[in-house]
Amino acid sequence: MSQTASYMDKTSTQTLREGLAEYYALNPHVTPPETQPPEFAKILQAHDVGHVIYGCDTGMYDELKILPLFWWTSDCTFQTYLKMKDSPAVDVMYDDLIRDKGLLWLYGAVLKVIPSLLPVLIPMWFKTRKRQKLLPFLEFEPLLDRSLLDIRQEFDLLQFIYS
């Protein structure tokens, strides 16, 4: 991502809807959810919404950071993720990534960021234990017209956004 996105600003007051539009405009390589089967489109858009709410870009570091953020701060638990991952549509996404970049690239990219990510994930895990208020994952529509700052404050997410 060459430009700094407004939604990545920790204190952004743009709405989630505005941030999502900016995310798609700045990331033309991202698969548009409306081009996918409805079940997968919902998961894909929820993932994209997470990028905006958590202030994450589409690099490998943030892709690997966002999954635990979902599991530990939203109603998308690891078990929910495993069920969604079994969807044939999700398999298509991984297959496309491997076809485009190669399996060796994927594993290399993951291994490259793990050393810098682990020191962030461990304290994050401790900070998210026994959370009471979880961010909705698939049912994000009521949040679309709320400011990112308001959402991040309500769900105590500011501590995980580094801008």
**Per-residue pLDDT reduced to its tens digit, 5-46:** 899 999 999 999 999 999 999 998 888 889 888 888 898 899
Beta strands in the chain (DSSP E): none
> Two tokens at 27?
């990331």
Helix (H/G/I), strand (E/B), else coil: 158: helix
Find residue 153's DSSP bridge partners. none
* Contacts for 53 with CB less than 8 Å, ≥ 6 apart: 16, 19, 135, 143, 148, 151, 152, 157
How far apart, in whole angstroms, are the C-alpha atoms of residue 140 and residue 46? 7
Place of tokens 């407004």: 6
How far apart, in whole angstroms, are the C-alpha atoms of residue 3 and residue 17? 19
How far apart, in whole angstroms, are the C-alpha atoms of residue 122 and residue 120? 6
Looking at residue 71, its pLDDT comes to 93
Whole-model pTM: value is 0.89
Q: Tell whether the model's pLDDT for residue 140 goes beyond 60.
A: yes
- Domain-wise residue ranges, the chain: 6-160
How far apart, in whole angstroms, are the C-alpha atoms of residue 152 and residue 163? 13
Tens digit of each residue's pLDDT (9 = 90 or more) over 95-114: 767 777 888 888 899 999 99
Looking at residue 99, its pLDDT comes to 79
How far are the Cα atoms of 1, 25, 85 from residue 19, in angstroms, in the given order?
Answer: 15, 10, 26
DSSP class of residue 12 equals -
